[in-house]
Amino acid sequence: MTAVRVLLADDQALFREALRILLEARPEVEVVGEAGDGAEALDRAAELRPDVVLMDLHMPVLGGIAATRRLRAEQPGVRVLALTTFDDDEDVFAALRAGAVGYLLKDVTSDRLVEALLAARRGESVLQPSVAAKVVAQFARLTDEPRPQPQPLVVPLSDRELDVVRLLAGGRSNREIAQELYLAEGTVKNHVTNVLAKLGARDRTQAALRARALDLL
């Protein structure tokens, strides 16, 4: 497997340096460049063509949310993974609406961060648990309102997550899903966690029922 090419976008030089050292110690990751603000991130992304931009949200010149929106429009093949200090509702949903495929806080573990970068390259979503809870709450508010037709999710399921939820609905265990999709069992467990969060489901059965209600199966 080729290393995921990552551009670091953060206005704190010391944090970027520490993050670069941490990530470059991992064979799964290649840090191709850095940017100190959103405008520089756009320029560097156009030049370097990374797989994923690790994007801080609060930066000078051009903020991370605006930069994410422009990056998704100008370079749709580049994934954006928000990595920030705050998980307030406004930032979370603004980042996801702008096109970020995931949202993590800066206290994330290195293993989780690397896993998220690999998932982001595949176009899959990775959400911090506190962020996932907000998505669940938002979904619950949407589903409490009477609607004539099923509505799209706040954060759509990726193609891989759709594969997982279809097998999950068929009663497959994580191990069976892993074997059928040629994935590690731990990766499947993470997909299931994300599926539950996005569907606002407390367990696998409820996830299957809500997926059917949304015509995802």
pLDDT interval class at 203 (50, 70, 90): confident
User: Which pLDDT band holds residue 21 (cuts at 50, 70, 90)?
Assistant: very high
**What pTM does this model have?**
0.66
What is the CATH architecture of 131-213?
Answer: Orthogonal Bundle (1.10)
Q: Mean pLDDT check: name the lowest of 151-155, 190-194, 203-207.
A: 151-155
Q: What's the chain's average pLDDT? A: 87
pLDDT recorded at residue 207 = 86
Q: How far is CA 181 from the centre of its chain?
A: 20
Question: Are 166 and 160 within 8 A, CB to CB?
Answer: no
Q: For residue 186, how many other CB atoms are within 10 A of its CB?
A: 11
31 or 156, which is more confident: 31
pLDDT score of 94: 86
- Lowest-pLDDT range, 20-24, 52-56, 73-77, 123-127? 123-127
Q: Where are the domains of the chain?
A: 4-126, 131-213
Q: What is the pLDDT of residue 148?
A: 44
* pLDDT higher than 80, residue 36: yes
pLDDT score, position 211: 85
Q: Token match 């509505």: residue?
A: 151
Which tens digit of pLDDT belongs to each residue from 93-147?
888 888 898 899 999 999 999 999 998 998 888 887 777 666 666 665 655 555 5
What secondary structure does DSSP assign to the chain, as a single string? -PPEEEEEE-S-HHHHHHHHHHHHTSTTEEEEEEESSHHHHHHHHHHH--SEEEE-SS-SSS-HHHHHHHHHHH-TTSEEEEEES---HHHHHHHHHHT-SEEEETT--HHHHHHHHHHHHTT--EE-HHHHHHHHHHHHHHHHS--SSPPPPSSPPPHHHHHHHHHHHTT--HHHHHHHHT--HHHHHHHHHHHHHHHT-SSHHHHHHHHHHTT--
Amino acid at 41: A
4-126 homologous superfamily: Response regulator (3.40.50.2300)
Length of the chain: 217
- pLDDT per position as a tens digit, 164-187: 998 988 878 888 899 989 899 899
What number is the average pLDDT over the span 62-67? 93
